[in-house]
Structures are given as C-alpha cells and as structure tokens.
Structure 1
Amino acid sequence: MIHGVLSSPQNALRPFLVAALFSLTPLGSQAQVSLDSPAAVGRKIVREVDVVFTGPATMDPARVRAQMSTREGEPYTDESVERDLRSLYATGAVENVDINAVNVAGGVKVIVTISGRGGIAELGFLGNAAFDNAKLAKEIEIKVGDPVDDTKLVAAQQKILELYTKKGFSDVLVTYDVSPSAKEGFSTVLFKIEEGGRGLIGDIRFEGNTAISDRKLRAELTSKEKTFWRLWGKAGKLDNQAVLDDVRKIEQAYQDIGYVYVRVGYRREESGSDKVALVFEITEGGKYDVASVTIQGITIFSQEELTPAILTEAGRPYSGSDVRGDEKMIQDYYGSRGYADARVETRLSDAGPGLLNVTYSVYEGGKSFIRKVNISGNMKTQDEVIRRELPMSPGDELNTVQLETAQTRLENLNYFEGKGEANPLTVRPVSTEVDGFKDIEVNVTEKSTGSVNFGAGFSSIDSIVGFIDVTQTNFDISDWGDFRGAGQRFNMNIRYGPRRQDFNLSWTEPWFLGQKLAFTVEMFYRNMFYLSQADRYEQTNAGMALSLRKPVGEHSYFETTYTLQNINLDVNDDEDPTNIIRNEEGDFLQSKFDFGFVHDTRDSVFITRKGHKFEVGLMASGLGGDVEVWGGNIGGQQFFSLPGDTILSFEGMARIADGWGNSGNANGDVPIFERLFLGGANNLRGYDFREAGPKDDSGEPIGGNVSMYASIEYSFPIIEKVRGAVFYDVGYISTDVTAAGGRDARGVKNGGPIVGDGEVYSNIGVGLRMFLPIGPIRLDLGLPLVKDDFTGDSPRFQFNMGYKF
C-alpha cells in the first residue's frame, strides 16, 4: 500500500473543485482595555469593533475579534472588557492593548489598539544532536517572519519534546529564549535542548508484590519492553510521564482490592548498550475493609436520595475506584440540579484492625442559573455551529453534567484542539457580579479540518485501485472565499483501477432546517467491472441521491434515501455469456427509496470489543423509472469482551428482493443489479466474491431473491497492533431464475440448469488484523466446507484494507 496525506493546503485544493476549501489553523487571542467613560457607556449596544495596530500588525484582526467576547450586536459591559483584556494578553503576541468605547449613533464603537511584540528575525536551535535543525524547524511549524507568539512557542516546545520522547530520550529538557534582534522591532528565538540519554526498556520487573502477580501488573502498564515487533510510536521507549502514569495505575490496582496505603516507586537500572531495566518498588501495606459509610453536610437533599447510588458498602473491601465513583455521583447529583459549586471531600478514619470508616463531606454551595454563554477563539467557525451543540441556554439551571456533555460534543466535532494539545477546548462556568448567576465560557482553538489523501490500495474483490480523496469537515457552501466555518461536510472521492472507476461528490448539512437532521446530497459515477468474475459484463451506475438522517436517542437513527440513477449493463460477447446474462443487458432508469433504522452501541468502529449494531431496512423502486422491485433486510452484530483482551463476535443478516408491477425482465422480475449475492471478504470468506450462491452453467453468479448468512469470530492479540482470528461462516441464497439447458437457435447457451440454488455454503478460516499507520488491514484465509461444480475446495485468500462499518 502506498499512501500519502496533505492536510489543509488551501491552494492545492482549489484545482480540484471550485468548492476548494482549506484551513489556515487559527490561533487563540486575548486583549486589554481602557474606557472613555465606563459609567456613561453603560449597557449600550456594540455597533462596530475596530482593530488598530501601532507598528507592524502582529495578529490577524479577525483573530483578535474571535478571541473577544465584546462583539457587534452584543451589549457593551465592563465584565466583557475585562475578559477581553485577559484573553488578548494571554496570547503572548501583544505588548500592550487599549480598548476604547466611543459613542456613536445607536450604541458604541469599540476601538482595540494593539502594540505587538514584533516578528521573528532569527530562529535557532542549540544542543540538538539527534535531530538536525531542518528536522526541528519542520516539526515546530514556526518560521522567520512570524509574530512572536508565546502560545505558538509553547506548542513548538511541546512538539520538540514529543519528537525526542518518541525516540526514547526520556530525560530531554527543552526551553526557549526570546531576545532582541539586531533588526529593530524584531526578536531572536532560540530553542535550547538538553537531550540526556536515550533509553529503551529492556526489562520490566516488580519488587515487593505479593497480592497481585507480575502478569496482572504488567497488563496494567503503558510502558512496554522493547521487542522486535514493537516498531511504531513510543512502544518500548522510556517515557518519564508514562512511567509516572504507570505508578498511579499500580497504586490504583492495589487500592481497588483494599490496600489503601500502598506505596509505589521506581528506579532505572542500566542493562547494557542503550537499554534500561525499569523496576517498580511496591510497599503493599495492610488490606482494609469498610466498617461504615457516612455522608455529612447535606441539607438540600436527603440521605435516602443519595445512599442507594453509593457504591462503597460496609463489610466489603475498600475500593479506590468505588470511592472516586461515589464522589463523582454526589457531585453530579448536585451539579445536575443547579449546584455547580458543590464539592465532595473523602475522609478515612481508623475503625480497628483492618477496618476503615469512609466519610463523604459535602459542601453544597448555592444554586446557580446561566446568565450568558460566551464563545471565544472561533475565527472561522460560526457561533451558531458551536451553540447548537450546547445542551444549555441562558436562563437554565446551571447543570454541570450538561457542561461535560457540551465538552464532549464539541470535541467530537474535531474542529478544535482537544485534551493533551497546546490550547485545549474548554467549557466552564465563571462567576458574575449578579448573585445566583454564572456565565458559561466556551473557549476554542481551531485546527485544520480539510485534507487531501491520495495513494493506492488493493483488495481481493476489486484488485489494485488508485485513489484521491478531498475532504472538508467544517465546510460552508455559502462562503465562496474560504468555504469553511458552517459545520457542513464536503467530500470528493476518485478511485481508478483496472476493475473499477468511481467518482463521488457529496455535501452534508448536519443541522437541516435548524434541527438535528442531517441532509446529504450525493452525485456519483461508478463503473464496476469486478461484478462479473469472468468479465462477461460490466455495470455502470450514474446519478444522484438525497438522504435524511435523524438521530433517535443516543445510539439510534432513522435514515431515508432517494436515489435516481441510470444503470447500464453491457454484455461482453467475447466471453460467451449465457442467455441469462444476455437478458440483463440494457439501460435502466431507476427511481428508488431506501428506509432504514440502526441501533448501534459498539464501543468503537476500529477494534470493537463490546456492544451491538442492529439494523433493519426496506427498499422500494419503481415510483418513476422502469425498475419495479422491493426489498428488505434485518440483521446485526454482537460483540463480547472476554479475558485476555479476546473478543467473541456474532454477525448475521437476512435479505429479500422481489419484483412488482409489469416491468420484469426476461429472467424474472428482479434485475441482476438488485439481486442478492454472498461470498468474498465481507461475508462468506471461504469463497470468491459473489461465488457462494446460484450460478448459470458457465459458472457466472446470477444472484437470488432471498439470502441469509451468519458468522462467528473469535479474535485474540498476538503482538502489538496485530490480532489473530478464527471464524466460521454459513449462508445460502435461493433464486426464481430458471433456464433450459443447451443452446438456443443462435447457438447461445441458455444457461441452465442453475447451480447452487438454495445450497447451504459454509467455511472455516483464520485471519490477521493489523492496525498500521497506513490504515487497518484484514487478511483472511477461508477454507470452503461445501463445494459445487464451480467453487472447488481450495482455500481462498481475502485481503482488504479499511474498517467494516
């Protein structure tokens, strides 16, 4: 597989479509204020926000405005001015800021005067031996001429740290200095690097553990020993932060079985060359049970309301996870009812040998309501795109659980920097001068949301395929300058190979008509040679589709799609097709509706360990056009997480297709492009694509009207990023196509008798699941247990790249 990625190269995308998009990553900004006459200005409406620079402009004016809560159309207040002052100074890109409010007709004009810190005249590195200057300069994405911005410098410092840590330099220290340059008004930035030694983990040992075995403790750790199969990322490389995290994980494992006062330390021992032994030193202490559980300080709610949800119980071993769960439950109980300042402290007291009293002390605080929701940092993304993801509004009770929900929803958009990044997204309450009211501050730092992907792939179904994919997940179809910021999704996909040529263009509005209703428009052209095993025909689909998807609760959605397409079936006379295939030839105009319901609780679409996916659907074609068929399907998947990170999964699906009206073809009512097939990488893996089912007497699959299949798979870890699997698949298809034997008057095969009609096919097999940087790869070797005149009994090798949704 050859694969390349370009992220958000704005100019590079324009040649692909007028709808080219992409993203200069915006930075967060913040500012400071002085007022002509605050008392006189009062609550007047802001009519204009003007940004003025004294000296060179060191920030984009749009970026300045994005960081400010003082915005056009909003009331002008002292509180918003103070927030803007702190915000703009926090960027590190300004030396001084003044904010002046001037009376104008109908309100005030706000003038923001900024004195910047100048630009970078020189950029250097000191102390780096493992990486050259060019590599570091490319990594940090800062260049000469950029404004001096502490936010970007800290982010660059972190990128250098991560680069060294991935190489095993666990003790690296990175600092930077900003000093005046010989060029007046500019600065010199110098990154100083103390690399330290490079450490690879040769061995991990435990000392002092008797209650938990080495094997169980090792399974808890992020740190891993360096082995030949750990080739990617940080695996096997010493990372001080990961070691500290491992110390906490070991302590937590002990506390969860009653060892409250366990102490864990660690040391490093040289083990030759550049490898070290990592030794965890454990002092277990005594094991404790819970003698009593008490909640103190509650006056607003009763003991009876809170006690049933308490996990910690008298007479059972102490569990740190249960105690943390109880603290979270009590705080959420209060926080979800407006008491955002409620806090819980846990006290442990001796109750005799091996016994502890657990006391939860609650500080209730006062009830709060939401006064305003302030959004800052969104230079491109429209306020409405953010606000519609927030489950709260001004005037509501302040619900801390909803704040967590808002945080998660905004992170899931993937438009903004998240946890662990330099400027993470935050949703938090802040105090106001009005008793009983708080403001909600949403601060974001935008990141690139456009990409161009290109490369080549291979599967056992459609052979080798080259592709190019252009995507913008924060698209704005109405902004013909930048095409970004409205939260829409745009995608253009081109695939080209010897057995398929596809072009697909789609646009999605996730909040159609102001509701949580996704509306998608798709245009497509698909030329599919791979549908026929012996190239006896090719199928071309060209048309458009309109779809609506409506979420129902947290895990379900309804979807309906209307498709209008022209389907051309071209028969290849050189391959001596039978009359069954010849009768399918022609041009068809299809107008069809698909209706579906999906309930999906899977924990991940990448490596699914638990949960299920259930789906049911109906299809009706013939309300216009000349293809009159209907169909339906029901099925799903179920996953179980078993000990040792093994996974047991079941999958099954039943489908039906039948004709109605008077537009049947010469073979029956259902044309071949709506018939049902089995075989290949996605169902019966012991057979070639479409091979497990009815075939004419030349071996060409002709499909059927009713199909069912089921699969059971057990997967297990082998080495890092590689899993093994064993599986069993079974299925059958029946058809109403009939044909006489021999040849007709023209000497063409009639195509009968039909082979495999109603036959139950099954296979067993083994597989590998590899999760590589270039993408997931699935390799399966299936052995057919049932054969017919054409399938044979030799094993089939199935290769595919990508996730199965």
Structure 2
Amino acid sequence: MLKFLGTVSLLFVLILVGFSSLGHAEDNEIRIKLIDVKGNRKIDRATILSKISLKEGDLFSPAQIREDVKTLYRLGYFDRVDVETEGFEGGLAMTFSVHEKPLLIDVVYEGNEHLDKDKLKEKVPIKTQTFLDTEEINTYVEKIKKAYEAEAYYSAEVTPIIQRVSEDQALLTFLIKEGDRAYVRQIRMRGNQTFTDKELRKQIETSKYFWLTSWMTESGRYKAETIDGDVDRLREFYLNHGYLQVQVAPPKVDLSEDKQWFDITFPIVEGDQFKVKEIHYEGNQLFDTDRLVELTKSKEGEIFNRGQVRQDIVSMVDLYGERGYIFANVVPQLNPHLEDKTVDITFQVAEDDPVKVREIRITGNDKTRDKVIRREVRVNEGELINTKLLRRSFQRLNNLNFFENIEIVPEQVEKGWVDLNVKLKEKPTGTFSIGGGYSSVDRFIATTEITQGNLFGRGQLVRAKAEIGGRRKTYSLTFREPYLFDTNVSETTDLFNSVRSFNSYEEKRVGGDLIFGRQFGEYVSASVSYTLETLNIRNVQDQAPDLIKEQAKLGKTLTSALGFSLARDTRDFIFDPKEGSRNSISFEYAGTFLGGDNDYYKVIVDSSRYFPLWWEHVLSVHGRFGYAIGIAGKELPAGERFFVGGINTVRGFKFGKAGPVTDTGEILGGNKQLFFNVEYLIPLVPEAKIKWLFFYDLGRAFDDSEAIRFSQLRQGAGFGLRWISPIGPLRIEMGKNLNPEPGENTGFIPEFSIGTLF
C-alpha cells in the first residue's frame, strides 16, 4: 500500500511540473476534466467509478486521491491501484489503473489423512469463484492448524501455495504435514490432602494415554474445552463432600518439545469440610413444610453435599410442577459458620401461579400424522400442565423411534395459560438391509430385511425378513397396529416358516401368531395371543436322543395354543434403556380341545432392571425363570423345551450346552430354566450408540426329572461390543465358561447376533 501511495505522490510532483507549462489558471485552481479506468476485467467501469469520490469538474486534491485509492483497495478486488494523469482541456485527465486479483477457482488439500476435505472445508470455509485475498491466506493457515489441534495434532505444518492457472484465475493448495497425534502423558493434582490423585482422576473426563484403547477412542486426548469442564468437575466433587471453600485453578499444561505429550497439573486448595447445621424453608404455601422435608434428602448433621441439594431442588420443583406450577422456583441460600465449620441451608420457594394448557402445537411432522403424535402426549388441552406427564410424553414419543430430535416446550401466552410446542425432527423409519455374519448358534448367516416402522405415517409396522444360515433358515412377516380402530388395543400378526438343523435331527416349524394387547395406565400392559403352527421332526440320525426319535415317529404335528401375558415397563427408552425396569409373566396353553395334536402348558417369568451410573455408564440386571410340561399323557414337544447356553441365555457356552446333554454330547433341552445376566455398559462412541460391555451370566436348564438347584447353575463371563443399529442391536461378545467340566471348552467363545436383546 505504501508503495502505491508513494507512486501517487510522485505523480503529484509530475503533475505540478506539467502544469507550469499550461500557464496559471484562474486563482491557481486545477480542475479535473476527465476521470477514466483501465485494467479492469471482471469489475465493470461504472462500479469502480461509483466508488471514487472525486468527480469530473472537482478541484484537484492529492488528499482525496489518496482516500479514493484506499477505498478501491478496501473493495478486495485489486492487488494494485495506480493513478495516472495528464493535462487535458485546460485541466487534468486522471486514469485509475487497476490490476484485479485472480479469481479463486478451487481449494486443494494435500497430505491430509486424518481430516478429510469435507471436514476441513467445514472448519475453514473458503469461498471459491471469488477474488483471492492473499492477506487472508495466513488466517486460513491458522484455522487449519486449529482444526488439527482440536484433533490433538499439535505439530501439524501447513504451507499455502498459490498457482496461477491463467492471467485472472488461481488455484490455492494447502500442503499439510500432519505429524503425530499428541496424548496426555501425566495428570497430577497439587495441594490435595483428603483425596488421592487416583480418586480425583476418576472425577474428570480427561484421561491418560492407554495403548490398548486410545487408538480407537478419544481417551488420552488433550482438549481445552474438556479441561475447562474438568476444573468444574473437580470443584463439584469437593462441594459434594462438604468443602465449601475449595478452589480449583486452571491447570498448568506443559507440551513436550516434540509436541507429542501433555503433562497436566491441577492446583487445588481444599479448605475445610462443612456439615449441615439447620435446614429452613421460606415462601411455601401450597405445600406445608413437613411435605417438603419428606422430599429433602439433605439432613442436618450430615456432610454438606451440593449435588444432593440440587436433587432436593429438582424434587421440590417437580412436586409443584405436578400440580401445574411449572414456573415455581426454588433457590438455596447458604449461610456458612466458619467457627464451627457448619452451614445453614434455606430453600426459598417462589410458587408463582398454576398454569393450564391452551393449545398443543405440533411442528416438524412432515410424514407422521398428528393423531399418531397426540395419542402419545399425556397432557390435554384445557387441563393443568403436569411436568411428570411431560416427561412421560417425551418417553412415549421417543419410544416410537420415529424422531431424531424431540422438544416439548411450554410457551406462556397469557397469565395462567401456556401453549405446548411439540417440536419434532423426523428420521427415516424404513430400512432395507442385506447383510451377513457369523452366529455362534447358526454359524455363517445371511440376512435380508425390509422394515417400515411408520407405514404411511400411521404408526403401523410392517416387516419382512429372511435369515439363511448354516443351521437355520427362517422367513417371517410381521404387521403391527398399535391402536386398532383408534382404540387402546394393539394387534400384531406374525407369520413364519423356519427350518433349524441340530447335530442329529432337523426341526421344521410353519405357523403364525395373532396377538391383541392393551395398555392399563402408563406402564402396565396385557395381551392375549393365539398360535397355530405345525412341527415336523425329520432327518433323524441314529445318535439322536430317544425323546427326539419318539417325536419323529408322530410325523407332522399341529400346535394350537392360547397365551396370556402381563407386563410392567418403566424403561426410559425401550431400544437402549438407561434406567427403569421391565417385569413380565406369560402363560401359554396348548390342547387338543383347540384343534391341535400337542398338549402342554408353559410359564415364563422375566425381569430386567437398569441403573444409570456416572459418565453415562449403565448397570443392567436380568433374570428369567421358565417351566413347561406336557399334559394329558403327552410329552412336551422338543421345540417347546428350554435351551440354555448361547448369546441370549448364558454366554461362554454353545447353544443348549448349559443344560441337559446326552453322553454323546447331543443337547436335550429342559422343561425348566433359570438364568441371570449382569451387564456393565460403557459408551465407546456415544453419537453412534456403540458401547463396551462386560458381563457375568449364571444359569442352567433342568430336565424333567431334575429339581432346580442353585449349586448346579453354570457360570460365564466376558466382554463385547454392542451397537444399537437402525435394524436392531448388533452384538459381538466373547464369553468364557468359568466352571468347565471335563471335555468342555475352556477358552473364550465368540458370540454374534443382530436384532435381539434379553
């Protein structure tokens, strides 16, 4: 810029010299007689002239020319602006000679492996088909480096190269040397007296590098925003243990010379521990103090816990919210006594007024019909709003699995009234999948499935599925109407055709189920079912169990059965629960009086419970008991027996091996089963719903002549991965038999399945 202004100044001198030969104009005034532009290609002449403040007829002004040159530079179109002058018609002809910047036609990245082109474009947006601003290139370089630092590449080098492809076009290339990713080597605490470094490290999200997991997870990475959160997490931990005066300063972060390792030190001043002295309540009129005391888990004489105080506030606000007081507010006032290290807590309640729902507004449901959504919303127009029912409405909408985002937002429209805004973002509900894999039960297996979970936006489900494996072929068709004729009754129809091969025989089943269910309140449901199927035991080998040989003699038999089930389900999200439980009991009766050949009854009791823990970890406990027996002098059909062992019962055992077997190793199945499963799930890739899990299983199937004995239950344990995919849970697990008997596998047994959970 200074170079160009110097050029302009030189021209001014030449101008003055030139004018001495023109004679003196009146009053020594020099006027501009002509203004022109040259050198422009993309920017038209009129646009440039409109930005120049000097006009033809104006007095010559060196200062104003300098300002006009600056104005043209600020447009961002030119990398050079010169001013040329010559005498003209008793005045001055002035020409602005411009040189346009090249047009940026593309941006190319070379050497980028860990951040693809699309990611870099998202982080560093650079517009093409615009004039290339060379002064901005350094800014782009710094943004690219910041993008790499966000992924823990602190030694990344970025070199910009401008390549002219023509006189007025350029290509911008960034040569990138990524270097190695930096990890956290050490995490230290300084000043902690009460808690060890190890205890405090468990409270923060930043973790040290671990060679086994850091390469495929984000563990061990340094992230500035995570560090900021860790300061708050450490402070919260101390406050939850009574340290009201704790101070946690921003950590000292040291990067090694090779930019490969971070050492982090958190400075802590603990202060003294405080106990709760007195708890008071102010402003409560709707509920008496005794009712609020019942909800308050913070107790006088106990260590102060800020997390518990927050939970107490949530409980009180929920109590008011269930009565329509959704704008009620509870603020805790703390009054510490330094002399005896105690603190008084006063819960100040601002009740406000009860609120009713004026209108329920639903947006974002481009496909799903309004009635499908409204029947899941548990709050009605004209009624008092209820925060408990709002949470339940969210759960029910989420359990439809039609939406990727759900917001239920009360909006006050006038005193005492709100509109309930249900904001939805739909996701695809139809899937077509073709896949294959290996199942520990069925060996190699190929699957094809077409599912539409929201048929025509009516909330109906239809599914066609085929599975072909080394030991099993299954074809099934399912239709489900959750609200039959807009009533609280559901209807499900299943048709199936399956062939399963065992070591010494083959079992073919063809039939269908018709199921009617009904909700009773929010969490309880009941159903009645009718099953009609044919069972054929065929291709029986000599080593087959006697039970199988006897049933094979009967040929093709018909089962006609009635069933009844009762369940209570409080899970927060049925496809991937984090809390709640599901308990059920089912009964099935098959008899000749229903037109079949087989007579038996079967009872199954099933229970699952989910416990949310820290960092989105979940502990689940599951148990199942089953009992079946043939009646009217008939044996229990082989297909109705219980086979324990395998991915859905006791892992670490092959299918049916945790139960009765013959001397030759053929599985018999039992008429009784009892097994338990404990799982600990840890998020691995939360956004993709991929989790680690560790499990312990205990169980066995028992033959007709055996009594259930806990001492005979088999044990398995192991680990695995679970992905809640669009077509169902995909499970890859490794189980080990913890108490192998002679001849049994002592190593880990791989397990694989898709589409089922316990």
Give the TM-score category using the shorter length: 0.5 to 0.7
Measure how far apart 1:396 and its partner are: 0.5
Structure 1 letter corresponding to 2:400: L
1:753-775: CA deviations, max 9, x gaps? xxx99999947555321125584
| Alpha-carbon distance change, 379 to 163 in structure 1, aligned in 2, over 3 angstroms | farther
- 2:733 corresponds to 1:778: yes
| Structure 1 Cα separation of the partners of residues 235 and 445 of structure 2 | 51
Alignment of 1:499-518 (within 5 A): 499-518=471-490
| Structure 1 Cα separation of the partners of residues 740 and 208 of structure 2 | 42
Please name the residue that 1:256 is paired with.
Answer: 240
Please name the residue that 1:595 is paired with.
Answer: 564
Please name the residue that 1:94 is paired with.
Answer: none
- 2:719 corresponds to 1:769: yes
1:283-339: CA deviations, max 9, x gaps? 323322223222222334332332332233333222111221222222222222122
| Structure 2 Cα separation of the partners of residues 467 and 501 of structure 1 | 10
| Alpha-carbon distance change, 292 to 440 in structure 1, aligned in 2, over 3 angstroms | same
Please name the residue that 2:469 is paired with.
Answer: 497
| Alpha-carbon distance change, 562 to 169 in structure 1, aligned in 2, over 3 angstroms | farther
| Structure 2 Cα separation of the partners of residues 331 and 161 of structure 1 | 46
Please name the residue that 1:751 is paired with.
Answer: none
User: Alignment partner of 1:581: what SS?
Assistant: helix
**Which of the residues 387, 398, 407 maps onto 1:426?**
407
Greater fraction helix: 2
Measure how far apart 1:209 and its partner are: 1.9
**Which of the residues 629, 639, 664 maps onto 2:599?**
629
Measure how far apart 1:680 and its partner are: 4.5
1:257-291: CA deviations, max 9, x gaps? 11123233334221344332333332323322223
Alignment of 1:734-749 (within 5 A): 734=704
- 2:209 corresponds to 1:215: no
- 2:442 corresponds to 1:462: yes
Measure how far apart 1:254 and its partner are: 0.9
Alignment of 1:694-733 (within 5 A): 700-703=666-669, 706-710=671-675, 729-733=699-703
Determine if contact 1:571/1:577 at 8 Å carries over to the other structure.
no
Please name the residue that 1:232 is paired with.
Answer: 216
Please name the residue that 2:390 is paired with.
Answer: 403
User: Alignment partner of 2:703: what SS?
Assistant: strand
| Structure 2 Cα separation of the partners of residues 552 and 123 of structure 1 | 65
- 2:254 corresponds to 1:269: yes
| TM-score w.r.t. length of structure 2 | 0.67
Alignment of 1:361-510 (within 5 A): 361-418=348-405, 425-433=406-414, 435-473=415-453, 475-476=454-455, 483=456, 485-510=457-482
Structure 1 letter corresponding to 2:219: A
Alignment of 1:37-436 (within 5 A): 129=112, 130-133=114-117, 167-168=151-152, 199-230=182-213, 231-264=215-248, 265-271=250-256, 272-353=258-339, 354-418=341-405, 425-433=406-414, 435-436=415-416
- 2:639 corresponds to 1:673: yes
Measure how far apart 1:253 and its partner are: 1.2
Among all aligned residue pairs of Structure 1 and Structure 2, give the percentage whose two residues are the same amino acid: 26
Please name the residue that 2:752 is paired with.
Answer: 801
Measure how far apart 1:248 and its partner are: 2.5
Determine if contact 1:692/1:761 at 8 Å carries over to the other structure.
no
User: Alignment partner of 1:448: what SS?
Assistant: coil
Structure 1 letter corresponding to 2:640: E
| Alpha-carbon distance change, 649 to 125 in structure 1, aligned in 2, over 3 angstroms | same
User: Alignment partner of 1:339: what SS?
Assistant: coil
Determine if contact 2:642/2:673 at 8 Å carries over to the other structure.
no
| Structure 1 Cα separation of the partners of residues 186 and 608 of structure 2 | 38
Please name the residue that 1:111 is paired with.
Answer: none
1:610-666: CA deviations, max 9, x gaps? 976544322112354432312122444577989999979674524122133xxx7xx
Measure how far apart 1:441 and its partner are: 1.5
Determine if contact 1:560/1:596 at 8 Å carries over to the other structure.
yes
| Alpha-carbon distance change, 606 to 698 in structure 1, aligned in 2, over 3 angstroms | same
| TM-score w.r.t. length of structure 1 | 0.64
1:462-490: CA deviations, max 9, x gaps? 211111333333x12xxxxxx3x222233
Structure 2 letter corresponding to 1:671: P
User: Alignment partner of 1:417: what SS?
Assistant: strand
| Structure 1 Cα separation of the partners of residues 145 and 508 of structure 2 | 52
1:675-719: CA deviations, max 9, x gaps? 444455544667653456666787654555x32445586979999
Q: Which has the higher contact order (CA 8 A, sep 6+)?
A: 1
Q: Which shifted more, 599-608 or 549-558?
A: 599-608
| Structure 1 Cα separation of the partners of residues 701 and 463 of structure 2 | 35
| Alpha-carbon distance change, 727 to 373 in structure 1, aligned in 2, over 3 angstroms | closer
User: Alignment partner of 2:202: what SS?
Assistant: helix
Structure 2 letter corresponding to 1:330: M
Measure how far apart 1:603 and its partner are: 8.3
Please name the residue that 1:538 is paired with.
Answer: 506
Determine if contact 2:440/2:752 at 8 Å carries over to the other structure.
no
Q: Which shifted more, 219-228 or 668-677?
A: 668-677
Please name the residue that 2:518 is paired with.
Answer: 550
| Structure 2 Cα separation of the partners of residues 497 and 258 of structure 1 | 60
Q: Which shifted more, 639-648 or 766-775?
A: 639-648
Q: Which shifted more, 628-637 or 685-694?
A: 685-694
Determine if contact 2:320/2:326 at 8 Å carries over to the other structure.
yes
Determine if contact 2:652/2:734 at 8 Å carries over to the other structure.
no
Which blocks of at least 5 consecutive residues in structure 2 are unaligned? 1-103, 129-143, 157-175, 686-690
User: Alignment partner of 2:251: what SS?
Assistant: strand
User: Alignment partner of 1:220: what SS?
Assistant: coil
Measure how far apart 1:164 and its partner are: 6.9
| Structure 2 Cα separation of the partners of residues 304 and 760 of structure 1 | 47
* Number of residue pairs the alignment of both structures matches: 596
Please name the residue that 1:183 is paired with.
Answer: none
Structure 2 letter corresponding to 1:498: G
| Structure 2 Cα separation of the partners of residues 642 and 429 of structure 1 | 28
Structure 2 letter corresponding to 1:242: T
Determine if contact 2:628/2:636 at 8 Å carries over to the other structure.
no
| Structure 2 Cα separation of the partners of residues 601 and 171 of structure 1 | 50
User: Alignment partner of 1:734: what SS?
Assistant: coil
Determine if contact 1:784/1:794 at 8 Å carries over to the other structure.
no
Measure how far apart 1:778 and its partner are: 2.4
Alignment of 1:565-584 (within 5 A): 565-572=533-540, 581=549, 583-584=551-552
| Structure 2 Cα separation of the partners of residues 293 and 497 of structure 1 | 66
| Alpha-carbon distance change, 555 to 171 in structure 1, aligned in 2, over 3 angstroms | farther
| Structure 2 Cα separation of the partners of residues 164 and 548 of structure 1 | 56
| Alpha-carbon distance change, 330 to 699 in structure 1, aligned in 2, over 3 angstroms | closer
| Structure 2 Cα separation of the partners of residues 411 and 249 of structure 1 | 30
Structure 1 letter corresponding to 2:369: Q
Structure 2 letter corresponding to 1:451: T
| Structure 1 Cα separation of the partners of residues 449 and 598 of structure 2 | 34
